[in-house]
Structure 1
Amino acid sequence: MLNSPFEFTEFVELATMIGVAGAGLYILNYFLLQIGIVRGNGVLYPVLVIVAASCVLISMVEEFNLAGSIIQMAYIAISVIGLLRGYLSRHLIRFSAAERQFISHHLGSLKPHHARKLLNAASVQEFAKGDILIEEARTTDFLGYVLSGRTTILQNGQVINVCGSDETLGELTFGLGLPATATVIASEPTTCLVFDNFRLSRLLRRNRHIDDTLKAAHFRHARQKLLSSNKHTLRAQKQPVAA
């Protein structure tokens, strides 16, 4: 209870200061979002919105404004929903052992709910020794990740590389409609995580962040594969020719 006009005046001034702080926090939060320090899908942004909206609500205690109150309560409710969604995506999404293997090597920077969307476009497939996964000069949309086993890569009938676990196959021509640059054959029983072309292409068109993350992973592995192929070719050239 406010027992004197002086106490009431102090209360009004305090509420006003809190409201001004809330308005300043709104502006600061939006500024930080625009310059990339906070992210709209992160934790800090909705937390700051909740604090700012609460401050503005407190400032309305002395002069109640229905429209303003509805707006602030909506901001708080939506931010809480966003935080809850983020929590559920981090703690309740489950991945199989094969999917975790792929994530650890390719998608370390991707949030769990984004990784889940990406992996929903893939399935585990088994290949017997001698099966052709990719055939040179033929248009293919094969994109696979080797979970176990080994594959041999041939170009013009010559072995140019050997790929084992945690290698990516088909990343150079996937989605481009171009002929494969080499043939890939399972040199032993091989298990791959294979992506469905239609589902993955549609997802990547709709989600730029997933697209950028996957392209970055493909670039890293394509570079490693090229270096490995060069080493393999040099070793083959140094081997003596049988009489």
Structure 2
Amino acid sequence: MHSLDLTALDAQFICRAFGLLGFAIYASAFFCLSTGRLDSKRPEYFVMVLAAASCVMISLWADFNLSAALIQGFYILMALGGIALRKEPKPAPVRVFSS
């Protein structure tokens, strides 16, 4: 029976797989946003951006790129801000009709 041995090559493969997953989440979010299936004011959009940026950031551990890390860090901060600082929509005023 073989023991689980996570080599550097395996770790690099896993990091790159996270990068591909992040790309897929970014592409899905953009597609849904473009087709009206997702609203950029809803928290779901920010959660998708946060997940995508986090996955791509993980992939940068294998192949670091400062510019890409700064962009992903910016997206993470903006997504967290969008989630935390999101204003609740005001309810529509109730009209009372009297007869």
Q: Which amino acid aligns with 1:80?
A: L
Higher relative contact order (CA 8 A, sep 6+): 2
Alignment of 1:124-203 (within 5 A): 166-167=96-97
State the distance in 2 between where 1:167 and 1:83 align: 38
The code of the aligned residue for 2:52 comes to A
CA shift for structure 1 position 167: 2.5
Cα distance in structure 2, aligned partners of 1:63 and 1:43: 30
Structure 1 outlier segments of 4+, above 6 Å:
none
Superposed CA RMSD? 2.4
Q: If the length of structure 1 is used for normalisation, what is the TM-score?
A: 0.36
Name the structure with the higher strand share: 1
Q: Which amino acid aligns with 1:167?
A: F
Ranges in structure 2 where 5+ consecutive residues have no aligned partner: none
Q: Deviations over 1:51-89 (max 9, x none)?
A: 000000000002211110010010110111111122xx3
* Unmatched tracts of structure 1, length 5 or more: 91-110, 120-144, 147-165, 169-227, 229-243
Whole-angstrom distance in 2 between the partners of 1:28 and 1:61: 24
Tell me which protein shows more helix as a share of its residues. 2
Which of the two has higher C-alpha Rg?
1
Count of residues in correspondence between the two structures: 95
1 CA distance for matches of 2:14 and 2:83? 29
The one-letter amino acid paired with 2:97 is E
Q: What does the per-residue CA deviation read over 1:171-230, in whole Å, with 9 as the maximum and x for residues that have no partner? A: xxxxxxxxxxxxxxxxxxxxxxxxxxxxxxxxxxxxxxxxxxxxxxxxxxxxxxxxx8xx
- Aligned equivalents of 1:62 and 1:16: distance in 2? 7
Q: Percent identity?
A: 26
